[in-house]
Amino acid sequence: MKRNQSGMTLLGFLLVLVVVGFAAFIAMRLFPMYQEFYAVKSSLKGVAAEPGESDMDPAKIQDLFFRRLYINYSESVKPSHVKIERMDGGWKMSVSYEVRRPLVGNLDVVGKFDASEPLTRRAPE
């Protein structure tokens, strides 16, 4: 009686290892971009939670935002990407920026991120 051995061959194992390794490489390249975007969103929410930000001038709001962003080591967001405009009862702060990272060879990955938050909280009296 002849018994056949079943399992993955060395070639099959290497092929699976290459696919999983490439997927891990792509994830390691993309994760910092999205981590930075969530840092931007949390900084926006932090500024929106400040008491009296609807009565502050835009320069002070932008300074508070970049102080919070500096803690998270954000590199891609510049002051030119931040737009603060007047709305009913306060301000609306919008951050729109683009991140370009090299991937493999001459291929790049481009991420376009956009977040906004209304700043309508008044100071307690």
Per-residue confidence in pLDDT tens, the chain, 125 aa: 677 777 778 898 999 999 999 999 999 999 999 999 999 999 999 999 988 888 889 999 999 999 999 888 888 999 999 999 998 888 999 999 999 999 888 999 999 999 999 988 776 66
* 62 neighbors 27 (Cβ within 8 angstroms): no
pLDDT of residue 15: 95
pLDDT of residue 67: 92
The position carrying tokens 């609807």 is: 54
pLDDT of residue 61: 92
Contacts with 56 (C-beta within 8 Å, 6 or more apart), sequence order: 64
Give the pTM.
0.81
* 120 neighbors 47 (Cβ within 8 angstroms): no
From CA 55, how far away is CA 52, in angstroms rounded?
6
